[in-house]
C-alpha cells in the first residue's frame, strides 16, 4: 500500500523532469542543421487550417462578453468613456492569448500528439534512429516552431476580431457611443500591452507543442495508449497554460507600469 502511494506521488515529478529534459533536447535540436523547412511549412499550414476558423468564431463571443461585463461595471461608476479602453485591455492582455492557446492546444496540439504517437507505435521513430536520423530535429522542431508562429499570428487575429465584437455588442446592446468607444482606446492601453499578448501567444504555443510532442513520443500500448496520450497532453497543457499566464502577468505588472502611473 505504501509503495503504491509513494509511486503515485513520485510519478508526476518524474513526468515533470522528463518533460523538462525533453524541452532541453528540443532546444538543442533547434540549432542543428539542416533545418526541415518543408516540414515546417507543412505543419504551419496544417495547424493554421484546423484552428483559424474556430479561433475567429470563439473570438467574437469572447470580445462580446468582456465588453458587456466591463461596460456594465463601468456604467455603474459613470465612466462610460473608458469602456473601449478597458475592453481592449482585457482582450489583448488576457482573453486573446488564452483563447488562442486553448484552441491551439485542443486542435493543433492533439493532432501533433496523435501523429507522433502513431509513428511511435508503428516503430517509425526507432527506424529513423537506426538510420541515423534524429526524430527531434526531423519531426519535433518543425512542429514546435510552426505552432509558435501560428499562435503568434492567430493571437493578432483574435485581438482584432475580439475588439470588433466588443465594439458591436457595446454599441448595440448597451447603447454605447461609437465615437467614445473608439476614442478611448488609447486612454489606458499602451503598446507594451499588445506586445505582452503576442509574447504570451508565443510562449503558450511553445508549451502546447512541447507537451503534445513529448506525450506523443512517450506514447505506448497501441492505439489506446495513443488516445490516452492525446487526452493527457490536452489536460497538462491547459494546466501549464494557466500557470504560465499567471506568472507572465505578474511579471509584466512589475516591469511595465500602468499608463498614467
pLDDT at 142: 92
pLDDT for residue 145: 93
Asked whether the beta carbons of 8 and 113 are under 8 A apart, the reply is no
Q: Is residue 100 part of a domain?
A: yes
The answer to whether residue 4 sits within a structural domain is no
In a domain, 38, yes or no: no
Each residue's pLDDT tens digit, 100-136? 888 888 888 888 888 888 888 888 888 888 888 888 8
How far, in Å, are 9, 167, 257 from residue 179 at the CA level? 57, 10, 27
The per-residue pLDDT for 79 is 60
The number of domains in the chain is 1
Q: Which residue range is the domain that position 130 belongs to?
A: 51-255
134: alpha, beta or left, given left = phi > 0 and alpha = psi -120 to 50? beta
With respect to residue 24, please indicate whether it lies within any of the assigned structural domains: no
Q: What is the per-residue pLDDT for 8?
A: 59
Q: What is the pLDDT of residue 185?
A: 67
In a domain, 18, yes or no: no
pLDDT of residue 144: 92
pLDDT tens-digit series, residues 62-89: 777 777 777 666 666 666 666 667 777 7
The pLDDT value given to residue 234: 87
> Is residue 194, in this structure, part of any structural domain at all?
yes
Q: Which residues contact 92 (CB under 8 A, 6 or more apart)?
A: 159, 163, 189, 193, 194, 196, 197
Q: What is the pLDDT at residue 3?
A: 47
Residue 8 located in a structural domain: no
In a domain, 11, yes or no: no
Which residues of the chain carry a pLDDT beneath 50? 1-3
Amino acid at each position: 500500500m505504501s509503495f503504491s502511494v509513494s509511486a503515485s506521488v513520485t510519478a508526476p515529478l518524474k513526468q515533470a523532469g522528463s518533460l523538462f529534459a525533453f524541452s532541453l533536447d528540443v532546444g538543442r535540436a533547434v540549432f542543428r542543421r539542416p533545418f526541415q523547412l518543408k516540414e515546417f511549412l507543412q505543419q504551419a499550414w496544417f495547424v493554421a487550417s484546423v484552428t483559424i476558423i474556430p479561433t475567429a468564431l470563439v473570438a467574437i463571443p469572447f470580445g462580446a462578453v468582456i465588453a458587456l461585463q466591463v461596460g456594465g461595471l463601468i456604467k455603474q461608476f459613470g465612466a462610460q468613456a473608458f469602456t473601449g479602453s478597458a475592453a481592449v485591455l482585457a482582450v489583448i492582455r488576457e482573453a486573446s492569448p488564452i483563447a488562442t492557446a486553448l484552441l491551439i492546444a485542443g486542435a493543433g496540439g492533439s493532432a501533433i500528439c496523435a501523429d507522433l504517437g502513431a509513428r511511435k507505435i508503428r516503430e517509425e521513430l526507432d527506424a529513423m534512429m537506426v538510420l541515423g536520423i534524429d526524430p527531434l530535429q526531423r519531426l519535433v522542431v518543425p512542429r514546435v516552431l510552426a505552432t509558435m508562429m501560428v499562435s503568434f499570428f492567430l493571437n493578432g487575429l483574435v485581438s482584432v476580431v475580439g475588439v470588433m465584437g466588443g465594439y458591436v455588442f457595446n454599441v448595440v446592446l448597451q447603447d454605447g457611443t461609437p465615437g467614445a468607444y473608439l476614442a478611448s482606446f488609447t486612454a489606458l492601453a499602451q503598446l507594451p500591452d499588445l506586445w505582452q499578448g503576442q509574447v504570451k501567444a508565443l510562449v503558450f504555443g511553445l508549451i502546447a507543442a512541447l507537451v503534445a510532442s513529448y506525450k506523443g513520443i512517450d506514447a505506448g500500448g497501441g492505439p489506446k495508449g495513443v488516445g490516452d496520450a492525446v487526452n493527457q497532453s490536452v489536460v497538462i497543457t491547459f494546466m501549464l497554460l494557466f500557470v504560465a499566464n499567471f506568472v507572465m502577468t505578474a511579471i509584466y505588472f512589475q516591469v511595465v507600469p500602468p499608463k498614467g502611473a
